[in-house]
Amino acid sequence: MRLKNRFLLVEVIFEQDLVGKRRDEGRAINATDVYQSLLASVSAQYGDQGVGLCQNLLSVRSYSDTTGIAVVRAPREQLRMVWSSLTFVTKIKNLRALGTVRANAGSERTMRQKLDKLDPVQAGKLARLEAL
């Protein structure tokens, strides 16, 4: 049986960016930090059952700290669970943050096309990840 996935194009906005403060250079955010915050939110909203349902297929495929755009892969059956948990993410690596979904897609190819319209640099990184 083939497991089907969906891809979410997420824009992460930090409070420091909104008020014009600069973040510390040593506090760079990466895809692992976004993944851990998202998984903690799924755990807080849906408990151990929610984590168990989506943990094996949930991943953050890429994240750009300069643009704040992340590509999240989630199981198709738990897409609404992951999407709603993303709404409740308030901190990433102890920095106040807000995540909004800009687009969703059924394959990496269509996600790359949507991402290309927003950020060509990030789309190139996703293409290199897919080649691995």
Question: Could you give the dihedral angle defined by the CA atoms of residues 105, 107, 113 and 118, in that order, rounded to the nearest 10 degrees?
Answer: 50
Structure tokens at 32: 């692992």
Work out the pLDDT band at 132, boundaries 50, 70, 90: very low
Q: Rounded to 5 degrees, what are φ and ψ at 97?
A: -145, 160
Residue 54, pLDDT > 80, answer yes
Q: Which residues pair with 10 in a beta bridge?
A: 70, 101
Q: Identify the H or E element spanning 102.
A: strand 95-105
Work out the pLDDT band at 50, boundaries 50, 70, 90: confident
Please name the residue that has the structure tokens 């190819």: 109
The residue ranking higher by pLDDT, 121 or 99, is 99
